[in-house]
Chains A and B, each alone.
Chain A
Amino acid sequence: MAHLETTAEVLRNRGVSRRDFMKFCALTAVAMGLGPGADLAIAQALSTKPRLPVLWINGLSCSCCTESFLRTAHPLAADIILSMIALDYQDTIMAAAGHQANETYEQAIEKYKGQYILALEGNVPMNEQGMYCIDGGKPFYEKLKMGVEHAKAVVAWGTCASWGCVQAASPNPTAATPLHKLFPNKPQIKVPGCPAIPEVMSAILTYIITYDRLPSLDSQGRPEMFYGVRVHDQCYRRAHFDAGQFVESWDDEGARSGLCLYKMGCKGPTTYNACPSTRWNNGVSFPIQSGHGCIGCSEQNFWDQQSFYDRITTIPHMGTNSTAETVGVAAVAGVAAGVAIHGAASMVRHACCDKKKAPEVNEDTSKS
């Protein structure tokens, strides 16, 4: 077998100077919010390890996470794909197709047993014997299972893989099921968002490469460094919330002056994500900056929390510096629950949702 180059070697061979390499490590350390000396640790790790093999597969999804990943600016997607990781399977951009693609997948599993990251985009339909998502003539679930079995760890990209997302919204006709419910015992990271933020996706891979471990996760399996604080708590419009200055109607003077969007249905107070700090697409903007409230796309069942334009009525008190570990769980009315109480909570949730939805369903069907 050919010598497997380290990431640093690959970068050097691609014409990246030592100075630029160190600059990249420092930027990465800053992007991940790491302390002094972390850049050296990153440099050390990238200089001694072969490229991390990543197999990335798609179930029921819209491919927005793939697209988001390709938008990452630091590091550049081309640098990640060609230098930092060995992306042996990614069916949206890989060269091979058909049986050659399937062979690539199987060979990579065999070659890197226990060493590769399995990245799942989308989720798995369990109705119709899994044939709502067919891959190679078989249910997609089989492909996922094969990959998960020998993976070192599994990354659930986006809200589809993490929680279910749009195809799992009520009444979830395909029985679309997120990763942790299928493989509860496999080490995994949830990176929710619809899609996840590009630079957050790449930073999580960089973290794994650098430290050879998964980042610290909250009780729901999300990296704390990006999902530890509410959108509301980092929002640059927060001062207007505290001062009671709100947009009252689309395109009113308040909207033109950037007042708080809470009354327009903004879900920032109950959403955990890095949108206001990392922002989107190389820090260009984020939804609230563009004038639309947060729709809460990184939260579980966000589709089923009434209209995006309904004001939320239960939010933590102003000025609290809460985290996902504390009041957040209570704040997201009926949505989230810690692992320990998960079972009980979901039973309550379903009873509640079913009750709410049932009359509408009956009404609709009786009309027809």
Chain B
Amino acid sequence: MSYEYKTQGYNVVDAGRRLVVDPVTRIEGHLRCEVNINDDNVITNAVSCGTIFRGIEIILKGRDPRDAWAFTERICGVCTGTHALSSVQAVENALGIDIPDNANIIRNLMQLCLMYHDHLVHLYHLTGLDWVDVVSASTADPKATSELAQKLSPWPNSSPGYFQSVKDKLLKLINSGQLGIFTNGYWGHPAYKLPPEANLMVVAHYIEALDFQKDVVHIHTIFGGKNPHPNWLVGGVPCSLNIDGVGAADVINQERLDFILQVIERCRTFAQQVVIPDTLALASFYGDWLNIGGGLSKLSVLAYGGIPDIANDYTDKSLLLPPGAIINGNFNEVLPVSLTDPEEIQETVNHSWYKSYPAGKIGLHPWEGITEPHYNPGPNIKGTPTALKQVDERDRYSWLKTPLWRGHQMEVGPLARMLIGYARKNSEITDLVDDFLGRAGGVPVTVLQSTLGRIAARSLELAWSAEKMRYFYDRLITNLKNGVRATANTTKWKPETWPTTELRGVGFTEAPRGALGHWIKIKDRKIENYQCVVPTTWNGAPRSPDGQLSAYEASLMNTHMDIPEQPLEILRTLHSFDPCLACSTHIIGPDGKDLLTVRMDRGM
């Protein structure tokens, strides 16, 4: 029996055909999406299901807080390092540890490097294939591609011969009978709008970006020893600075600094000459997608803020990515956000595969979070509990919880950050956005509130992060010039120096995908409670207790699909958020009693 209700300006109707996309690929983790479409192939109901659960936070209980960064970093190997950053900040916040200026600079360099890398891979390798028809590219005239590329950018890889060689490689791959990762793509789908020469240009950049992204992370490798999963440290950073020591020895010497600068400068050039021109090209051919998929970005957006300019100052004054919340579509007012106010951020579980909270509680602040996983998709699913054909969104349908800010579902991410920065009249962000809008033909800022706008916001932030890497690099050099070389504060390194009473801390940043917060309770020098509320928990949540759609769900509503069996439109909009599902499932809480008894013999 069908149902119908109104929420957030949408008319949700579950009649008509139900389509299922599972697995949603080119994301991190496991995601399922179900939609209903009406007779006109328009989406009238969207259901987002997180289908992976790992339980890192319960594993953290009882452990040394100085180790937490390594565990939480493994929440995600894609946005690697950003959880570690939030974690060391949370522990430092709880223990009252200040870090040296150099440590703040190096952490920012690592976080900005991550942001750049993540956005680059997202644009070309994760969402790129939604907009670029690889098979069509193989029919392009390389001369015409060369003319297009040279018109758009001074990037040197733009000769007819170069594009001919890319085309030849593509043709050989297609004719080889082994298409590999391009097998079963939606090639020839009418929603692909790029002419063959533009397709060929972006395919060439897909390959160039694949080669370049491995070099971008060398900044992590130098400061943190490896990537993915570089090393971090409570109280500072593990790498020392040594410019004038014997033999200019370990760890960061002039050779390493020159290496880092070279990577940063390549990042700046690639952003300006490849990424931004490609984004503008996409916008010019896919103008209709500047009106599709806006979802919650038109209504409610949230940022915690990140990239502190001043060491140990996590207030508005210091954060280069400004925090704030906008609700009810009122973009004239940016509300302040507190991560410690129990009334602001709360998580709910009414539509998630967890036991309900005790004492009739609906939502809980992360410091008080309770999670008891319980897979129970309800009696009205289609199929069986271990062979789902269709979930029941009126019941429980996801491993994600639903976080709310003052009762609202919120969108987080690059677009939210740009909109909040713009509304706050942050001059760097308004300049960046206005310049882009001007180059896109003088379109209004509201076009960013769309699927393509979400992707454009990422490109803008990628360019911004490259500039900021240079800024912090120069600050590091200035410190070295002035003889400032401390990178760690070890006065409270030893647990014996800590009190045994309960300590609370919160660490936060802006991960590439959006607002990321870690909440910790330390007692008897061990982790008592640990909770993360992460970007994809915000964006990909199931419905709120009062039926509000999450950002993923809202953004899919009212979208027309050309060929429902080939769900390119669904992929475009979901990918515009860069979903990351391993991040977004939780298990924690002082009442996690049952969980602790669920033990398998690890030696089986």
Residues of chain A touching chain B, judged by Cβ–Cβ distance below 8 Å, are 1-5, 10, 13-15, 50-51, 53, 58, 60-68, 70-73, 76-78, 81-82, 85-88, 90-98, 100-104, 108, 125-140, 164-177, 181, 194-195, 198, 249-251, 255-258, 275, 280-282, 284-292, 295, 297, 301, 303, 307-309, 343, 346-347, 349-350, 357, 360-361, 363-365, 367-368
B53, B214, B485, B493: the one contacting A250 at CB < 8 Å is B493
Interface assignment of B488: CB less than 8 Å from any CB of chain A: yes
Which residues of B in the span 90-126 have a Cβ within 8 Å of any Cβ on A? 121, 125-126
In contact, B183 and A129 (Cβ under 8 angstroms) = no
B30, B217, B225: the one contacting A288 at CB < 8 Å is B225
In contact, A71 and B227 (Cβ under 8 angstroms) = yes
In contact, A280 and B169 (Cβ under 8 angstroms) = no
| Complex CA–CA separation, A174 to B56 (angstroms) | 10
Contacts of A291 in B (CB 8 A): 225, 238-240, 250-251
In contact, B218 and A284 (Cβ under 8 angstroms) = yes
In contact, A250 and B77 (Cβ under 8 angstroms) = no
Contact pattern, B 151-180, Cβ under 8 Å of A = 1, otherwise 0 = 000000000000001001100110111111
In the A-B complex, the 6 residue pairs with the closest CB atoms = A64-B77, A258-B250, A346-B603, A95-B185, A2-B177, A287-B225
Which residues of B in the span 512-532 have a Cβ within 8 Å of any Cβ on A? 523, 526, 528
In contact, B22 and A137 (Cβ under 8 angstroms) = yes
Interface assignment of B591: CB less than 8 Å from any CB of chain A: yes
Known: A70-B214, A100-B184. A350 touches B595 (CB 8 A): no
Known: A101-B23, A173-B59. A347 touches B603 (CB 8 A): yes
Contacts of A364 in B (CB 8 A): 61-62, 528, 596
Contacts of A295 in B (CB 8 A): 70, 231
Interface assignment of B389: CB less than 8 Å from any CB of chain A: yes
Interface assignment of B416: CB less than 8 Å from any CB of chain A: no
In contact, B210 and A77 (Cβ under 8 angstroms) = yes
Known: A95-B182, A308-B70. A171 touches B598 (CB 8 A): yes
| Complex CA–CA separation, A181 to B227 (angstroms) | 29
In contact, B214 and A281 (Cβ under 8 angstroms) = yes
In contact, A167 and B54 (Cβ under 8 angstroms) = yes
Distance in angstroms from B418 CB to nearest chain A CB is 26
User: Which chain A residue has the least Cβ–Cβ distance from B121?
Assistant: A70
| Complex CA–CA separation, A4 to B185 (angstroms) | 20
Interface assignment of B287: CB less than 8 Å from any CB of chain A: no
In contact, B178 and A86 (Cβ under 8 angstroms) = yes
Interface assignment of B246: CB less than 8 Å from any CB of chain A: yes
| Complex CA–CA separation, A237 to B412 (angstroms) | 44
User: Which chain B residue has the least Cβ–Cβ distance from A103?
Assistant: B184
Q: Can you report 22 residue pairs joining A to B where beta carbons are below 8 Å apart?
A: A1-B177, A62-B76, A62-B78, A63-B28, A64-B77, A88-B179, A96-B183, A126-B600, A137-B383, A137-B389, A174-B55, A194-B229, A256-B249, A256-B485, A281-B217, A282-B218, A288-B225, A291-B251, A307-B67, A346-B602, A350-B602, A367-B523
Known: A63-B76, A70-B214, A127-B598. A133 touches B30 (CB 8 A): yes
Contacts of B490 in A (CB 8 A): 249-251
Known: A166-B74, A249-B493. A91 touches B25 (CB 8 A): yes
| Complex CA–CA separation, A104 to B179 (angstroms) | 11
Interface assignment of B414: CB less than 8 Å from any CB of chain A: no
| Complex CA–CA separation, A90 to B134 (angstroms) | 17
| Complex CA–CA separation, A86 to B173 (angstroms) | 10
In addition to A132-B54, A172-B599, A251-B488, 18 A-B residue pairs with Cβ atoms within 8 Å of each other are A58-B30, A67-B78, A76-B211, A88-B180, A93-B125, A94-B181, A100-B566, A101-B23, A101-B25, A102-B23, A131-B385, A139-B386, A167-B55, A173-B598, A255-B240, A257-B245, A275-B226, A289-B225
In contact, B22 and A92 (Cβ under 8 angstroms) = no
Which residues of B in the span 48-67 have a Cβ within 8 Å of any Cβ on A? 51-56, 58-59, 61-64, 66-67
In contact, B26 and A93 (Cβ under 8 angstroms) = yes
Contact pattern, B 247-262, Cβ under 8 Å of A = 1, otherwise 0 = 0011100000001000
A63, A94, A127: the one contacting B78 at CB < 8 Å is A63
User: Which chain B residue has the least Cβ–Cβ distance from A248?
Assistant: B490
In contact, A137 and B32 (Cβ under 8 angstroms) = yes
| Complex CA–CA separation, A77 to B184 (angstroms) | 21
In contact, B183 and A292 (Cβ under 8 angstroms) = no
Contacts of B566 in A (CB 8 A): 100
Q: Chain B CB within 10 Å — which of A50, A255, A275 has the most? A: A255
Contacts of B28 in A (CB 8 A): 62-63, 92
In contact, A62 and B383 (Cβ under 8 angstroms) = no
Distance in angstroms from A184 CB to nearest chain B CB is 11
In contact, A289 and B488 (Cβ under 8 angstroms) = no
In contact, B52 and A133 (Cβ under 8 angstroms) = yes
Known: A255-B240, A256-B251. A2 touches B54 (CB 8 A): no
Interface assignment of B448: CB less than 8 Å from any CB of chain A: no
Known: A167-B54, A167-B55. A135 touches B30 (CB 8 A): yes
Contacts of B142 in A (CB 8 A): none
Known: A87-B181, A134-B52, A137-B22. A63 touches B582 (CB 8 A): yes
B55, B176, B217: the one contacting A2 at CB < 8 Å is B176
Contact pattern, B 379-400, Cβ under 8 Å of A = 1, otherwise 0 = 0000101111100000000010
In contact, A3 and B53 (Cβ under 8 angstroms) = no
Distance in angstroms from B578 CB to nearest chain A CB is 12
Contacts of A86 in B (CB 8 A): 178-180
User: Which chain B residue has the least Cβ–Cβ distance from A133?
Assistant: B52
| Complex CA–CA separation, A173 to B75 (angstroms) | 15
In contact, A285 and B225 (Cβ under 8 angstroms) = yes
Interface assignment of B242: CB less than 8 Å from any CB of chain A: yes
In contact, A60 and B183 (Cβ under 8 angstroms) = no
In contact, B178 and A51 (Cβ under 8 angstroms) = yes
Contacts of A280 in B (CB 8 A): 221, 225-227
Contacts of A198 in B (CB 8 A): 214
In contact, B387 and A365 (Cβ under 8 angstroms) = no
Contacts of A288 in B (CB 8 A): 225
Distance in angstroms from A166 CB to nearest chain B CB is 4
Q: Chain A CB within 10 Å — which of B30, B215, B230, B567 has the most? A: B30
User: Which chain B residue has the least Cβ–Cβ distance from A101?
Assistant: B25
In contact, B218 and A281 (Cβ under 8 angstroms) = yes
Contacts of B74 in A (CB 8 A): 62, 64, 165-166, 194
In contact, B229 and A78 (Cβ under 8 angstroms) = no
Interface assignment of B213: CB less than 8 Å from any CB of chain A: yes
